């Protein structure tokens, strides 16, 4: 019998103001027939690490490791400001909000998490961590590419983001989208 796997990741909850901002920014895009998948408000978060398929029997071990690493981190403060996309504006796949401030402590925390989980069988990320809040995803092939110029030029009041806790999450994929469940919450000091 094969071991049951669950999809897990680490995230930071975001301030409620981001939800109304998402609605405003959604109206800046001339979709012109393009299909854009906006992240549901209840699913918006700052991802620190997508851990991926985790055997159910390994969840406690991963969680204990995360607790030890996160407990050494200090509370962090950032601003949510600016907009952007990956990989390029001519063919965007991800629309996002920027995280700004002294990012070094956050990047060190993510590196420490990667280093601690790697020996447990959850490989380090190949790319450097770029903190951002994903607002929407655009899948190709499709007939149209949306014009996101107004989205990229949009201005808004920065939103304070205080990171004092990190959620160890479970993600279940369903036809109408993902459902997230908090497995545990770890607090920064």
Distance CA 8, CA 168 (A): 7
Q: Which of 148, 45, 40, 26 is nearest to 92 (CA)?
A: 148
Model's pTM, two decimal places? 0.92
Q: Where are the domains of the chain?
A: 5-187
Mean pLDDT of the residues in the chain: 94
- What strands lie across the sheet with 37-38, from one edge to the other? 37-38, 132-137, 94-100, 76-86, 159-163
Q: Supply the pLDDT for residue 142.
A: 87
Q: Supply the pLDDT for residue 178.
A: 87
Q: What is the pLDDT of residues 123-175, one digit of tens each?
A: 998 889 999 999 999 988 888 889 999 999 999 999 999 999 999 999 998 88
Q: What is the pLDDT of residues 48-77, one digit of tens each?
A: 999 999 999 999 999 999 999 999 999 999
User: In CATH, which of 3.90.1140.10, 3.40.50.300, 3.40.190.10, 1.10.40.60 is domain 5-187?
Assistant: 3.90.1140.10
Q: Supply the pLDDT for residue 143.
A: 87
User: Which alpha helices (DSSP H) does the chain contain, by range?
Assistant: 17-26, 59-70, 104-117, 149-153
Q: Supply the pLDDT for residue 2.
A: 59
Mean pLDDT value of segment 21-40: 89
């Amino acid at each position: 019998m094969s071991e049951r796997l669950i999809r897990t990741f680490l995230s930071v909850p975001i301030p409620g103001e981001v939800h109304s901002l998402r609605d405003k920014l959604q109206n800046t895009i001339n979709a012109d027939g393009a299909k854009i998948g906006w992240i549901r408000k209840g699913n918006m978060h700052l991802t620190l690490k997508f851990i991926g398929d985790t055997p159910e029997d390994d969840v406690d071990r991963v969680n204990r490791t995360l607790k030890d690493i996160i407990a050494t981190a200090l509370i962090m403060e950032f601003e949510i400001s600016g907009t952007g996309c990956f990989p390029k504006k001519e063919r965007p796949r991800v629309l996002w909000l920027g995280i700004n401030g002294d990012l070094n402590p956050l990047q060190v925390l993510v590196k420490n998490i990667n280093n601690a989980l790697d020996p447990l069988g959850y490989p380090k990320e190949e790319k450097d961590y770029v903190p951002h809040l994903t607002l929407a995803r655009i899948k190709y092939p499709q007939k149209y590419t949306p014009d996101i110029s107004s989205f990229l030029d949009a201005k808004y009041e920065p939103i304070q983001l205080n990171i004092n806790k990190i959620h160890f999450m479970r993600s279940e994929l369903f036809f109408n989208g993902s459902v997230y469940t908090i497995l545990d919450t770890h607090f920064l000091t």
